[in-house]
Amino acid sequence: MIKRILVTGGAGFLGSHLCERLLTDGHEVVCVDNYFTGSKKNITHLLRNPSFELIRHDVTFPLYIEVDEIYNLACPASPVHYQYDPVQTTKTSVHGAINMLGLAKRVKAKILQASTSEVYGDPEVHPQPESYWGRVNPIGIRSCYDEGKRCAETLFFDYHRQHHLEIKVARIFNTYGPRMHPNDGRVVSNFIVQALQGKDITIFGDGRQTRSFCYVDDLINGFVRLMNTDPEFIGPVNLGNPCEFTMIELANKIIELTDSKSKVTFKNLPQDDPKQRKPNIELAKEKLDWEPTVKLEDGLQKTIEYFKGVI
Protein backbone atom coordinates (compact mmCIF):
# COMPACT_ATOMS: atom_id res chain seq x y z
CA MET A 1 0.00 0.00 0.00
CA ILE A 2 1.34 3.43 -0.95
CA LYS A 3 1.52 5.75 2.06
CA ARG A 4 2.03 9.48 2.38
CA ILE A 5 4.88 9.82 4.86
CA LEU A 6 6.22 12.91 6.63
CA VAL A 7 9.93 13.03 7.53
CA THR A 8 10.90 15.93 9.80
CA GLY A 9 14.58 16.80 9.56
CA GLY A 10 14.37 15.22 6.11
CA ALA A 11 17.21 17.28 4.62
CA GLY A 12 19.64 16.13 7.31
CA PHE A 13 22.15 13.28 7.27
CA LEU A 14 19.77 10.55 8.42
CA GLY A 15 16.62 12.19 7.10
CA SER A 16 17.83 12.39 3.50
CA HIS A 17 18.76 8.70 3.49
CA LEU A 18 15.34 7.86 4.98
CA CYS A 19 13.54 9.94 2.32
CA GLU A 20 15.46 8.04 -0.37
CA ARG A 21 14.58 4.68 1.12
CA LEU A 22 10.87 5.48 1.46
CA LEU A 23 10.69 6.72 -2.14
CA THR A 24 12.45 3.54 -3.29
CA ASP A 25 9.79 1.57 -1.41
CA GLY A 26 7.14 3.35 -3.51
CA HIS A 27 5.73 5.82 -0.98
CA GLU A 28 4.96 9.53 -1.22
CA VAL A 29 7.34 11.53 0.97
CA VAL A 30 6.92 14.99 2.48
CA CYS A 31 10.30 16.30 3.67
CA VAL A 32 10.21 19.06 6.32
CA ASP A 33 13.35 20.93 7.39
CA ASN A 34 14.39 24.42 8.52
CA TYR A 35 18.00 23.87 7.33
CA PHE A 36 19.60 24.63 10.70
CA THR A 37 21.85 21.60 10.22
CA GLY A 38 20.22 19.99 7.19
CA SER A 39 21.04 21.04 3.63
CA LYS A 40 19.13 21.21 0.36
CA LYS A 41 22.16 19.60 -1.26
CA ASN A 42 21.28 16.38 0.55
CA ILE A 43 17.89 16.09 -1.17
CA THR A 44 18.36 18.05 -4.45
CA HIS A 45 18.51 14.78 -6.40
CA LEU A 46 15.04 13.88 -5.04
CA LEU A 47 13.28 17.04 -6.21
CA ARG A 48 12.65 15.62 -9.69
CA ASN A 49 10.69 12.73 -8.17
CA PRO A 50 6.93 13.50 -8.41
CA SER A 51 6.36 11.56 -5.18
CA PHE A 52 8.67 13.89 -3.22
CA GLU A 53 7.55 17.18 -1.64
CA LEU A 54 9.78 19.65 0.22
CA ILE A 55 8.52 22.10 2.87
CA ARG A 56 10.67 24.61 4.74
CA HIS A 57 9.31 24.60 8.28
CA ASP A 58 10.46 24.70 11.91
CA VAL A 59 8.83 21.94 13.96
CA THR A 60 8.67 24.18 17.04
CA PHE A 61 5.60 25.62 15.25
CA PRO A 62 2.50 23.54 14.42
CA LEU A 63 2.20 21.95 10.99
CA TYR A 64 -1.11 21.20 9.29
CA ILE A 65 -0.85 18.44 6.71
CA GLU A 66 -2.47 15.10 5.82
CA VAL A 67 -0.18 12.08 6.20
CA ASP A 68 -0.34 8.40 7.12
CA GLU A 69 2.97 8.12 8.98
CA ILE A 70 5.48 10.47 10.60
CA TYR A 71 9.19 9.96 11.22
CA ASN A 72 10.25 12.68 13.69
CA LEU A 73 13.98 13.20 13.10
CA ALA A 74 14.15 16.99 13.49
CA CYS A 75 16.88 18.04 15.95
CA PRO A 76 20.57 18.93 15.72
CA ALA A 77 22.41 15.79 16.80
CA SER A 78 26.09 16.66 17.13
CA PRO A 79 27.51 18.46 20.20
CA VAL A 80 28.87 21.33 18.08
CA HIS A 81 25.44 22.04 16.65
CA TYR A 82 23.17 21.31 19.60
CA GLN A 83 25.33 23.36 21.99
CA TYR A 84 25.38 26.34 19.61
CA ASP A 85 21.82 27.28 20.62
CA PRO A 86 20.94 24.99 23.55
CA VAL A 87 17.57 26.62 24.27
CA GLN A 88 16.47 26.06 20.66
CA THR A 89 17.75 22.47 20.85
CA THR A 90 15.50 21.75 23.84
CA LYS A 91 12.57 23.48 22.14
CA THR A 92 13.10 21.43 18.99
CA SER A 93 12.99 18.18 20.97
CA VAL A 94 10.12 19.12 23.27
CA HIS A 95 7.92 21.55 21.28
CA GLY A 96 8.71 19.58 18.13
CA ALA A 97 7.51 16.37 19.76
CA ILE A 98 4.34 18.06 21.03
CA ASN A 99 3.56 19.50 17.59
CA MET A 100 4.21 16.26 15.70
CA LEU A 101 2.27 14.21 18.26
CA GLY A 102 -0.59 16.69 17.95
CA LEU A 103 -0.51 16.27 14.18
CA ALA A 104 -0.45 12.48 14.49
CA LYS A 105 -3.42 12.62 16.86
CA ARG A 106 -5.43 14.85 14.49
CA VAL A 107 -4.86 12.73 11.36
CA LYS A 108 -4.58 9.35 13.17
CA ALA A 109 -1.06 8.76 11.86
CA LYS A 110 1.51 6.32 13.19
CA ILE A 111 4.56 8.23 14.47
CA LEU A 112 8.20 7.26 15.11
CA GLN A 113 10.50 9.22 17.39
CA ALA A 114 14.21 9.24 16.56
CA SER A 115 15.56 9.18 20.09
CA THR A 116 19.18 8.65 21.03
CA SER A 117 21.64 6.61 23.04
CA GLU A 118 22.35 9.91 24.84
CA VAL A 119 19.30 9.17 27.01
CA TYR A 120 21.62 6.73 28.82
CA GLY A 121 24.11 9.52 29.61
CA ASP A 122 27.49 8.32 30.90
CA PRO A 123 26.29 4.77 31.62
CA GLU A 124 27.06 2.58 34.62
CA VAL A 125 25.68 -0.46 32.74
CA HIS A 126 27.52 -1.87 29.73
CA PRO A 127 26.30 -2.63 27.12
CA GLN A 128 23.14 -0.55 27.51
CA PRO A 129 19.78 -2.37 27.38
CA GLU A 130 16.51 -0.50 26.90
CA SER A 131 15.58 -1.25 30.52
CA TYR A 132 18.46 0.93 31.79
CA TRP A 133 17.19 4.34 32.93
CA GLY A 134 20.46 6.15 32.38
CA ARG A 135 22.85 8.44 34.22
CA VAL A 136 22.35 11.95 32.85
CA ASN A 137 23.51 15.31 34.18
CA PRO A 138 20.36 17.50 33.97
CA ILE A 139 22.31 20.79 34.12
CA GLY A 140 25.41 20.11 32.01
CA ILE A 141 26.40 21.41 28.59
CA ARG A 142 24.96 18.29 26.90
CA SER A 143 21.68 18.43 28.83
CA CYS A 144 19.80 20.40 26.18
CA TYR A 145 20.06 17.37 23.91
CA ASP A 146 20.07 14.52 26.45
CA GLU A 147 17.15 15.81 28.53
CA GLY A 148 15.31 17.15 25.49
CA LYS A 149 15.28 13.69 23.97
CA ARG A 150 14.34 12.08 27.29
CA CYS A 151 11.40 14.47 27.61
CA ALA A 152 10.37 13.71 24.02
CA GLU A 153 10.22 10.01 24.90
CA THR A 154 8.06 10.87 27.92
CA LEU A 155 5.66 12.81 25.69
CA PHE A 156 5.45 9.95 23.18
CA PHE A 157 4.59 7.41 25.85
CA ASP A 158 2.07 9.71 27.52
CA TYR A 159 0.32 10.39 24.17
CA HIS A 160 0.23 6.63 23.68
CA ARG A 161 -1.26 5.99 27.13
CA GLN A 162 -3.60 8.99 27.22
CA HIS A 163 -4.68 9.27 23.56
CA HIS A 164 -3.99 5.69 22.35
CA LEU A 165 -1.65 7.03 19.68
CA GLU A 166 0.33 4.44 17.73
CA ILE A 167 3.97 5.26 18.47
CA LYS A 168 7.43 3.80 17.86
CA VAL A 169 10.58 4.93 19.70
CA ALA A 170 14.08 4.18 18.36
CA ARG A 171 17.23 4.93 20.35
CA ILE A 172 19.97 5.66 17.83
CA PHE A 173 23.60 4.88 18.61
CA ASN A 174 26.55 6.42 16.73
CA THR A 175 25.79 6.37 13.02
CA TYR A 176 28.04 7.39 10.14
CA GLY A 177 28.07 7.52 6.36
CA PRO A 178 27.82 9.82 3.33
CA ARG A 179 26.19 13.24 3.89
CA MET A 180 27.52 13.68 7.40
CA HIS A 181 28.31 17.35 7.93
CA PRO A 182 32.09 17.89 7.58
CA ASN A 183 32.12 20.24 10.57
CA ASP A 184 29.63 18.52 12.86
CA GLY A 185 32.25 17.64 15.48
CA ARG A 186 31.44 13.92 15.44
CA VAL A 187 34.34 11.57 15.74
CA VAL A 188 34.06 9.77 12.37
CA SER A 189 33.69 12.95 10.30
CA ASN A 190 36.34 14.75 12.36
CA PHE A 191 38.90 11.99 11.92
CA ILE A 192 38.22 11.55 8.19
CA VAL A 193 38.41 15.28 7.42
CA GLN A 194 41.60 15.68 9.46
CA ALA A 195 43.19 12.63 7.79
CA LEU A 196 42.30 13.77 4.26
CA GLN A 197 43.69 17.24 4.98
CA GLY A 198 46.87 15.82 6.51
CA LYS A 199 46.18 17.50 9.85
CA ASP A 200 46.75 15.99 13.28
CA ILE A 201 43.88 13.71 14.32
CA THR A 202 42.50 15.07 17.57
CA ILE A 203 41.42 12.58 20.23
CA PHE A 204 39.72 13.94 23.35
CA GLY A 205 40.73 12.04 26.49
CA ASP A 206 43.23 9.18 26.51
CA GLY A 207 41.72 7.48 23.45
CA ARG A 208 40.64 4.39 25.36
CA GLN A 209 36.99 5.48 25.53
CA THR A 210 34.82 3.38 23.23
CA ARG A 211 32.05 3.86 20.71
CA SER A 212 30.16 1.54 18.39
CA PHE A 213 29.56 2.71 14.83
CA CYS A 214 26.55 1.81 12.68
CA TYR A 215 26.54 2.49 8.93
CA VAL A 216 23.63 4.66 7.84
CA ASP A 217 22.00 2.08 5.52
CA ASP A 218 21.75 -0.39 8.40
CA LEU A 219 20.14 2.22 10.65
CA ILE A 220 17.56 3.27 8.04
CA ASN A 221 16.64 -0.37 7.56
CA GLY A 222 16.06 -0.55 11.32
CA PHE A 223 13.79 2.53 11.21
CA VAL A 224 11.60 1.05 8.49
CA ARG A 225 11.38 -2.33 10.17
CA LEU A 226 10.41 -0.70 13.47
CA MET A 227 7.70 1.41 11.84
CA ASN A 228 6.24 -1.75 10.25
CA THR A 229 6.09 -3.85 13.43
CA ASP A 230 2.82 -4.79 15.11
CA PRO A 231 1.06 -1.91 16.93
CA GLU A 232 1.65 -3.69 20.25
CA PHE A 233 5.41 -3.18 19.98
CA ILE A 234 6.25 0.46 20.54
CA GLY A 235 9.80 0.33 21.90
CA PRO A 236 11.99 1.91 22.91
CA VAL A 237 14.43 -0.18 20.92
CA ASN A 238 18.18 0.29 20.51
CA LEU A 239 19.43 0.64 16.93
CA GLY A 240 23.19 0.54 16.61
CA ASN A 241 26.19 -1.65 15.99
CA PRO A 242 27.40 -3.63 19.04
CA CYS A 243 30.96 -3.91 17.66
CA GLU A 244 33.01 -1.69 19.98
CA PHE A 245 36.12 0.29 19.08
CA THR A 246 38.41 2.62 21.03
CA MET A 247 39.09 6.07 19.64
CA ILE A 248 42.71 5.12 19.03
CA GLU A 249 41.63 2.07 17.00
CA LEU A 250 39.27 4.22 14.92
CA ALA A 251 41.91 6.89 14.29
CA ASN A 252 44.48 4.31 13.19
CA LYS A 253 41.97 2.59 10.88
CA ILE A 254 41.07 5.90 9.19
CA ILE A 255 44.77 6.82 8.79
CA GLU A 256 45.31 3.44 7.14
CA LEU A 257 42.30 3.71 4.79
CA THR A 258 43.13 7.29 3.71
CA ASP A 259 46.88 6.57 3.43
CA SER A 260 47.35 9.73 5.49
CA LYS A 261 50.50 11.08 7.14
CA SER A 262 48.44 12.47 10.01
CA LYS A 263 49.63 12.04 13.59
CA VAL A 264 47.36 11.45 16.60
CA THR A 265 47.22 14.16 19.28
CA PHE A 266 45.32 14.22 22.57
CA LYS A 267 43.22 16.91 24.28
CA ASN A 268 41.15 17.05 27.48
CA LEU A 269 37.87 15.16 27.50
CA PRO A 270 34.79 17.51 27.34
CA GLN A 271 32.35 17.68 30.26
CA ASP A 272 29.97 14.70 30.60
CA ASP A 273 31.45 12.92 27.56
CA PRO A 274 30.57 9.20 27.98
CA LYS A 275 33.48 6.78 28.50
CA GLN A 276 31.62 3.86 26.96
CA ARG A 277 28.78 3.53 24.49
CA LYS A 278 27.61 0.19 23.14
CA PRO A 279 24.06 -1.00 22.44
CA ASN A 280 22.48 -4.20 23.58
CA ILE A 281 20.47 -5.06 20.43
CA GLU A 282 18.82 -8.30 21.56
CA LEU A 283 15.38 -6.64 21.47
CA ALA A 284 15.93 -5.41 17.89
CA LYS A 285 17.01 -8.90 16.85
CA GLU A 286 13.91 -10.42 18.45
CA LYS A 287 11.25 -7.90 17.45
CA LEU A 288 12.60 -6.48 14.18
CA ASP A 289 14.73 -9.38 12.95
CA TRP A 290 17.39 -6.69 12.58
CA GLU A 291 21.10 -6.39 13.14
CA PRO A 292 23.81 -4.41 11.30
CA THR A 293 25.45 -6.08 8.29
CA VAL A 294 27.96 -3.44 7.06
CA LYS A 295 31.46 -3.89 8.49
CA LEU A 296 33.24 -0.79 9.83
CA GLU A 297 35.99 -0.90 7.20
CA ASP A 298 33.48 -1.12 4.32
CA GLY A 299 31.35 1.70 5.69
CA LEU A 300 34.39 3.89 6.33
CA GLN A 301 35.56 3.39 2.73
CA LYS A 302 32.22 4.68 1.40
CA THR A 303 32.25 7.59 3.84
CA ILE A 304 35.83 8.52 2.95
CA GLU A 305 34.94 8.56 -0.77
CA TYR A 306 32.06 10.92 -0.01
CA PHE A 307 34.27 13.31 1.98
CA LYS A 308 36.89 13.33 -0.78
CA GLY A 309 34.24 14.95 -2.96
CA VAL A 310 33.14 17.65 -0.51
CA ILE A 311 36.33 18.97 1.10
Around Cβ 164, how many Cβ atoms within 10 Å?
10
Mean pLDDT of the chain: 94
Q: Give the per-residue pLDDT at 271.
A: 65
Q: Which residues are known to be catalytic?
A: 145
Which residues are CB-contacts of 22 (< 8 A; sequence separation ≥ 6)? 5, 7, 29, 224
Which residues are CB-contacts of 185 (< 8 A; sequence separation ≥ 6)? 78, 79, 80, 81
pTM, rounded to two decimals: 0.94
pLDDT digits (tens, 9 = 90+) for 136-180: 999 999 999 999 999 999 999 999 999 999 999 999 999 999 999
Domains belonging to the chain, first-starting first, are 4-177+214-241+279-293 (3.40.50.720)
Range 16-36 average pLDDT: 97
DSSP letters, 16-35, are HHHHHHHHHTT-EEEEEE--
pLDDT digits (tens, 9 = 90+) for 60-80: 999 999 999 999 999 988 778
CB 126 within 8 A of CB 276: yes
Compute the distance between CA of residue 138 and CA of residue 225 in angstroms, rounded to an integer.
32
pLDDT digits (tens, 9 = 90+) for 177-224: 999 988 887 899 999 999 999 999 999 888 888 888 999 999 999 999
CB 7 within 8 A of CB 29: yes
Range 268-282 average pLDDT: 77
